[in-house]
Amino acid sequence: MRETISSERCITILEQFVSTQLELEDRPRIEWFIQDGARPHRTEKVFRFLVEYFGDRVIPLDYPKFTGTEMDWPPFSPDLTPWDYFLWGALKDTVYRNRPSTLDELESAICVACNSISFETLKDVMSN
């Protein structure tokens, strides 16, 4: 995705995610939603969307302030986000190994890196 992520674009992405979740019949739906602390993810519009779909089962930065809940789980806790502590770092190392210098090279490197992740690695990340 090459567009700048605004709160409106973030909501569009979340709507697509939620509609996919609602269509899942053979798997349980996401019970908790975790997102990072990027500014477009922490706007009132995005939080209202999250409240509507997930209620108090959301773990992002500043959400408790918005909702008035006392949920104090940190959004970057290693027990909640193993991909932040392993997978993203491994992907970043792979992507930047050849030092892409253009947006096209960067996009290609990201695709190659993502496609190189084995099913076993993804399974291990999810089980941890």
Rounded to an integer, the average pLDDT of 78-86 is: 62
Alpha carbon of 71 to those of 57, 67, 100, 127: distances in Å? 9, 10, 40, 24
* Structure-token pair, residue 89: 């770092």
State which of 37-46, 84-93, 115-124 shows the largest mean pLDDT: 115-124
Closest CA to 94 of 113, 73, 67, 117: 113
Domain residue ranges in the chain: 7-67, 82-126
Running DSSP on this structure, what letter comes out for residue 26? S
Give the Å distances, CA to CA, from 51 to 23, 36, 67, 106. 20, 16, 8, 35
Q: State the average pLDDT over residues 80-90.
A: 70
pTM: 0.59
Which sign, positive or negative, has the C-alpha torsion 67, 68, 71, 77? positive
CA atoms within 13 A on the CB side of 18: 13
Q: What is the pLDDT of residue 18?
A: 84
Dist. CA 18–CA 69, nearest whole Å: 22
Between residues 27 and 12, the one the model is more confident about: 12
Q: What tens digit of pLDDT does each residue of 96-114 get? A: 999 999 999 999 999 999 9
CA 91, chain centre distance (Å): 14
H or E element that contains 119: helix 119-127
**Secondary structure class of 72 (helix, strand, coil):** coil
